[in-house]
Amino acid sequence: MSTDRTSDPADDESGNHRPGGGEDEVHVGRFSRRARRRDREEQKKGSLLKELPVLLVVAFVLALLVKTFLVQAFFIPSGSMEQTLHGCTGCTGDRVLVTKPPYWFSEPQPGDIVVFQGPDTWTPEVQVSEPGNWFSSAALFLGRAIGVAPPSEDDYVKRVIATGGQTVQCCDDQGRVTVDGQPLDEPYIYENTPLESRPFGPVIVPEGRLWVMGDHRSASADSRSHVGDQYAGTIGVDDVIGKASVIVWPFSRFTFLDSPAIQPQQAEGMAVQGDVALVAPLLLGLGGAVPVAAWRRRRR
């Protein structure tokens, strides 16, 4: 009686069993899988190389948007804000984060540390060699965005002392700067100059402008040094880049920078400004999170 048997993969076309055929096919199968794996890896490499320029462009655009609207890192190149901010010769210059949202809904207030673009009449505190080609310019732009490159020559960091409509003058009988006749409370001052060598004013700050000074009073070329120019030494509110909020480097000096109420009549107004500064980034984060959450739900 004949017995049917299931065809074995090792059988040849005539039905005869081919010794070792199964092992050969397993070997061929493994080779095919390795070949397909190599093909996929090569395709991924090729795809990555094609996508790399696009990724670089996207990264550059994102850096530009963040730098323009949210936050920017700055390298402190001079000692005019010692010892609040280190920029002295022979020490590690501080890197600070400058935030933009605090001034979306309000203007800089006395006591704020601000980074700003100085008027044309101001002499640069540092000398910076600008690059001569587009690649070096792009690298410098990114370096300034993350705070590892020196700022532009017309970028300054100072503390706001008086705002539009206020009258600033130095000094009272104790050597203090006064605003509207009231002495300022300035615990951050470092190495103040002798009383007889630092009087100025009175100067009425025009509307939309600010009177700024460095914490290192004997080493800061601030509003006092330019009181004779067309702006009476003041800077424009529109020229303020942002508020210096935190020292991020070196790690040993990591700290948040406060804005003390240096004018007696200032305390209530500064509380309101602080609330706005906290709420603005929160609203921004929620505005960005809602579309992302909706997109993820649609994908589900």
Catalytic residues: 80, 158
246 three-state secondary structure: strand
How many other CB atoms sit within 10 Å of the CB of residue 234? 25
190, 215 Cβ separation under 8 angstroms: yes
187 vs 215: CA distance, rounded Å: 9
Q: What is the DSSP string of 120-168?
A: TTSPPSS--PPPSSHHHHHHHHHHHHBT-S---TTEEEEEEEEETT-EE
Question: What tokens does 294 get?
Answer: 């909706």
Query: Buried (b) or exposed (e) across 259-268, using 16+ Cβ within 10 A?
Result: bbbbbeebee
Please report the sign of the dihedral spanned by the C-alpha atoms of residue 288, residue 294, residue 298, residue 300.
Answer: positive
Q: Is the peptide bond between 202 and the residue preceding it cis, with omega within 30 degrees of 0?
A: yes
79, 216 Cβ separation under 8 angstroms: yes
